[in-house]
A and B are shown apart, each in its own frame.
Chain A
């Protein structure tokens, strides 16, 4: 027996996920333009692994395959993995990471809607702990052509040193630490001066800043489509910029500028596409602000004082842990129970 309401809005999980995928396209286009088409290979690899892993787990769990594969949530996870990993990691690393995300982090916890952690970020953290070297090789913009990228992805041998070893975030941190050392050549140089190199662009890393702008564009479109609300990207960017800005204002020779932080690494992807994952994120308006602000501060702390190239993934997981607590304590008063 079907009860009221008898009419429904034409909305579906598939549509939501499809729009998220579409919103990633400008960022991917910039990525391909500056860093080559290798990323497309990674996206394809991750997507194939995600669909295979999801299908296998749905079969094991006795769930309808067509229904759950067509919701596209696995593809979103796959794309986020491809976009957060270095574009030249070997194929098996991408596939393993995606399978871990889909099989363990998502399906073993109960599938769509049930995972406490963001699958893509959990996979990123697992991989950076397991394969720190491979996960830290970021080519500079235009450094590698497509064939050498393919060779790195599918070929066996790799000359680690031949590839630029670090993200601009990582490089700048290392440089800033060196600058603090009186014995170093770089001693006394400020961040702005340190960034006067071929690896850096106007705002962040060369090329990387354009990719970030692409993600920002897609994110704003998601906002306009009401797929996401302003709370999470707003609070994350503000908290990241504020914590970076505070230390930068006090010691500009020791820290990068807030703009650099926003335009580098996974900040934009995190703000609009990762932290906004509704399944693993906070859901109340106030909760979203807290959740994202926490992630912003943690991202900065890990970037500035940690040993990893970026902090978004760990910050996301740490804040995912806090979600039940945040949600429980930020329920808004209901109709007729508000205090004026």
Chain B
């Protein structure tokens, strides 16, 4: 059945390099000596460790518990002993470390008891919790916790569930092989997702350079007897596999930056995610392995089913890295990240280990000035004007950069790819974004500090005022009392001598004097109260000594008699 497809603006056609790694089926990797499993592998909160060094763990045992409103659990990929729970290098360009669980496999690779769920009858909420605890996250690279996306949105039902099998990045073929080999199981996962989302139709988008995968998925759909699910071959053009671009191609809908696709009746998942959901729901198996493409500067590019936490060099060894290898890239050549070391672990986001060499990925020619040729704008799948954003980023005019929709940039790399001046445009945009984020952080912390300071001032002012009011009230009370006293005292003389110049009420001078006297009396009382501070728990002798001293002091302090 032919379907009307839509176009997205721009895009590029880099060499795909996909045929080399698709000649052989997905292979298994022998158990490594050590698995290093980072606890934070998905978007959202940092899972807390549930194991300690020395613990014995089973395959599939939860070792990191989901934390907070958006988080996803992490599991032991094999059975063995926890050797360490400590920070370890992340598979990220930054070279930062993250809390990881180091497991020494016992070689038995034995599953523990797994939680099961009857996904055909269980309510969607229960399934979502189950998938969160099974650690299922988006395997397309964004690693967003899947349970959080399996909500149908405001209307309670979805128009279209888009399954992303486009795989537009060069070199990567893990989704291709997964669709070829596991289409039927993946489809079961899709059916479960469709049920949770109450989706009217399911569209599985696959770039037309993968005819075997399209055929396999179509055969699986036909065999399943499901209606309303369609595998659609889409034109091969990078980045057709970007979620927004794929949604656009299949449905014509453009989901703007910062909006949820469910608001438009669409939700998008990767094919690998669908397969993991099947594994979790059908067998209770949490996400502990994934298909990883090893490609680039290796003798035999191939796809492997790799346990999460396996050191990358262990995986690459299976394919035979060539001697001039100088780096690993996680992901493809367009959006991949250069890794800080060869032995960083495979994580849930690792769709490809691209083995690089200076010959395969030569350094770019020297950067030239922008000639405003507009090639970048022609290639931009987000319809941006990268050369304008470049000027503003370069001059650190971040406000203007944002006006030109900097944050709509998906960092696909098309602009850098086509630029005849070899300007690393995406790097400029990453720089601008991080600068803006840093400034916003600074600003919000400055705002918080200012709020704190202003509140402190307000509080001090308020307390001062309250004190003053209290004092004034007290003074007024005393004044009244004094006035009443003197009224009483002067009442009779006034009646006796009504014609004297003396006023009926006490003079201001008198009141003041009376107030002073009252204050002095109060101070004296306070002093008397404060004075015997250290005299509470005294021995009898000490008390006697003190009494003697007091007596002596009283004697000397007594004013001398007039006759002395």
Measured in the bound complex, the distance between the Cα atoms of B215 and A5 in whole Å is 31
Judge whether B371 and A113 touch: CB under 8 Å. Answer: yes
- Across the two chains, which residue of chain A brings its CB closest to B366? A67
* Known A-B contacts A278-B372, A332-B383, A338-B254; A5 and B363 likewise in contact (beta carbons under 8 Å): no
Judge whether A3 and B430 touch: CB under 8 Å. Answer: yes
Chain B contacts for A333, CB-based, 8 A: 383
Chain A contacts for B83, CB-based, 8 A: none
In this complex, the member of B93, B369, B413, B418 whose beta carbon has the largest number of chain A beta carbons within 10 angstroms is: B369
Chain B contacts for A67, CB-based, 8 A: 366, 368
Chain B contacts for A332, CB-based, 8 A: 383
- Across the two chains, which residue of chain A brings its CB closest to B256? A336
Chain B contacts for A68, CB-based, 8 A: 368
Q: Which of A188-204 contact B (CB under 8 A)?
A: none
Assess whether A160 is interfacial by the CB under 8 Å rule.
no
Interface 9-mer from A7-15, A25-33, A123-131: A7-15
Judge whether B384 and A334 touch: CB under 8 Å. Answer: yes
- Across the two chains, which residue of chain A brings its CB closest to B9? A335
Judge whether B381 and A335 touch: CB under 8 Å. Answer: yes
Measured in the bound complex, the distance between the Cα atoms of B387 and A70 in whole Å is 23
Chain A contacts for B408, CB-based, 8 A: 334-336
0/1 per residue, B378-398, Cβ < 8 Å to A? 000111110110000000000
* Known A-B contacts A2-B338, A336-B257; A8 and B416 likewise in contact (beta carbons under 8 Å): yes
Chain A contacts for B373, CB-based, 8 A: 16, 278
Q: Which of A262-289 contact B (CB under 8 A)?
A: 278-279, 283-284
In this complex, the member of A1, A9, A12, A113 whose beta carbon has the largest number of chain B beta carbons within 10 angstroms is: A9
A277 CB → nearest B CB, Å: 9
A120 CB → nearest B CB, Å: 15
Chain A contacts for B333, CB-based, 8 A: 4-7
Q: Which of B389-420 contact A (CB under 8 A)?
A: 404-405, 408, 413, 416-420
* A4 CB contact (under 8 Å) in B15, B334, B422: B334
* B93 CB contact (under 8 Å) in A1, A16, A113: A1
- Across the two chains, which residue of chain A brings its CB closest to B420? A11
In this complex, the member of A12, A229, A334, A338 whose beta carbon has the largest number of chain B beta carbons within 10 angstroms is: A334
A217 CB → nearest B CB, Å: 22
Measured in the bound complex, the distance between the Cα atoms of B383 and A119 in whole Å is 31
Measured in the bound complex, the distance between the Cα atoms of B329 and A67 in whole Å is 30
Judge whether A8 and B422 touch: CB under 8 Å. Answer: yes
- Across the two chains, which residue of chain B brings its CB closest to A111? B369
- Across the two chains, which residue of chain B brings its CB closest to A288? B374
Measured in the bound complex, the distance between the Cα atoms of B427 and A291 in whole Å is 31
Judge whether B365 and A12 touch: CB under 8 Å. Answer: yes
Judge whether B368 and A283 touch: CB under 8 Å. Answer: no
Measured in the bound complex, the distance between the Cα atoms of B391 and A283 in whole Å is 14
Chain B contacts for A331, CB-based, 8 A: 385, 388, 404
Assess whether B426 is interfacial by the CB under 8 Å rule.
yes
Judge whether B422 and A12 touch: CB under 8 Å. Answer: yes
Q: Which of B12-41 contact A (CB under 8 A)?
A: 12, 14-15
Measured in the bound complex, the distance between the Cα atoms of B333 and A338 in whole Å is 30
Assess whether A170 is interfacial by the CB under 8 Å rule.
no
Judge whether A335 and B254 touch: CB under 8 Å. Answer: yes
Assess whether A114 is interfacial by the CB under 8 Å rule.
yes
Chain A contacts for B254, CB-based, 8 A: 335-336, 338
Assess whether B336 is interfacial by the CB under 8 Å rule.
yes
Q: Which of B239-277 contact A (CB under 8 A)?
A: 244, 248, 254-257, 259
Judge whether A112 and B417 touch: CB under 8 Å. Answer: no
In this complex, the member of A6, A229, A283 whose beta carbon has the largest number of chain B beta carbons within 10 angstroms is: A6
Judge whether A12 and B426 touch: CB under 8 Å. Answer: no
Interface size classification for chain B? 35 or more
Measured in the bound complex, the distance between the Cα atoms of B259 and A15 in whole Å is 41
B337 CB → nearest A CB, Å: 7
Judge whether B12 and A9 touch: CB under 8 Å. Answer: yes
Assess whether B356 is interfacial by the CB under 8 Å rule.
yes
Judge whether B368 and A15 touch: CB under 8 Å. Answer: no
A39 CB → nearest B CB, Å: 27
Judge whether A7 and B170 touch: CB under 8 Å. Answer: yes
Judge whether B404 and A335 touch: CB under 8 Å. Answer: no
Measured in the bound complex, the distance between the Cα atoms of B365 and A111 in whole Å is 19
Assess whether B375 is interfacial by the CB under 8 Å rule.
yes
Measured in the bound complex, the distance between the Cα atoms of B366 and A64 in whole Å is 11
Assess whether B361 is interfacial by the CB under 8 Å rule.
yes
Chain B contacts for A114, CB-based, 8 A: 369
A15 CB → nearest B CB, Å: 7
Judge whether A4 and B413 touch: CB under 8 Å. Answer: yes
Judge whether B404 and A3 touch: CB under 8 Å. Answer: no
Judge whether A2 and B364 touch: CB under 8 Å. Answer: yes
Measured in the bound complex, the distance between the Cα atoms of B15 and A9 in whole Å is 10
Judge whether B371 and A5 touch: CB under 8 Å. Answer: no
Assess whether B98 is interfacial by the CB under 8 Å rule.
no
B160 CB → nearest A CB, Å: 17
Judge whether B335 and A5 touch: CB under 8 Å. Answer: yes
Chain A contacts for B8, CB-based, 8 A: 335
In this complex, the member of A1, A279, A331 whose beta carbon has the largest number of chain B beta carbons within 10 angstroms is: A331
Q: Which of B99-132 contact A (CB under 8 A)?
A: none
Judge whether B257 and A112 touch: CB under 8 Å. Answer: no
Measured in the bound complex, the distance between the Cα atoms of B372 and A13 in whole Å is 11
Measured in the bound complex, the distance between the Cα atoms of B377 and A331 in whole Å is 11
Chain A contacts for B368, CB-based, 8 A: 12-13, 67-68, 71, 112-113
0/1 per residue, B413-451, Cβ < 8 Å to A? 100111111101011001000000000000000000000
Measured in the bound complex, the distance between the Cα atoms of B371 and A283 in whole Å is 11
Judge whether B244 and A11 touch: CB under 8 Å. Answer: no
Measured in the bound complex, the distance between the Cα atoms of B430 and A9 in whole Å is 21
* B420 CB contact (under 8 Å) in A12, A111, A337: A12
Chain A contacts for B388, CB-based, 8 A: 283, 327, 331
Chain B contacts for A335, CB-based, 8 A: 8-9, 244, 248, 254, 256-257, 381-384, 408
Q: Which of A121-142 contact B (CB under 8 A)?
A: none
Measured in the bound complex, the distance between the Cα atoms of B387 and A335 in whole Å is 17
Judge whether A6 and B329 touch: CB under 8 Å. Answer: yes
Judge whether B338 and A3 touch: CB under 8 Å. Answer: yes
Chain B contacts for A338, CB-based, 8 A: 254, 383
A325 CB → nearest B CB, Å: 14
B78 CB → nearest A CB, Å: 32
Assess whether B370 is interfacial by the CB under 8 Å rule.
yes
* B427 CB contact (under 8 Å) in A3, A15, A64: A3
Judge whether B370 and A113 touch: CB under 8 Å. Answer: yes
Measured in the bound complex, the distance between the Cα atoms of B93 and A11 in whole Å is 27
Q: Which of A25-77 contact B (CB under 8 A)?
A: 64, 67-68, 71, 73
A303 CB → nearest B CB, Å: 28
Measured in the bound complex, the distance between the Cα atoms of B413 and A72 in whole Å is 27
0/1 per residue, A217-235, Cβ < 8 Å to B? 0000000000001000000
- Counting from the closest, the 7 A-B pairs by CB-CB distance are A336-B256, A5-B413, A113-B369, A6-B361, A11-B420, A336-B254, A335-B382
Some 18 contacts from A to B, beta carbons below 8 A apart, are A1-B338, A2-B338, A2-B361, A3-B93, A4-B334, A5-B335, A5-B413, A5-B426, A11-B420, A12-B368, A13-B368, A67-B368, A284-B377, A284-B385, A335-B9, A335-B254, A335-B256, A336-B256
8 other A-B residue contacts (CB within 8 Å) besides A5-B335, A335-B383, A336-B257: A3-B337, A3-B338, A3-B430, A4-B413, A5-B426, A7-B333, A283-B388, A335-B244
- Chain A: residues with CB nearer than 8 A to chain B? 1-9, 11-13, 15-16, 64, 67-68, 71, 73, 111-114, 229, 278-279, 283-284, 327, 331-338
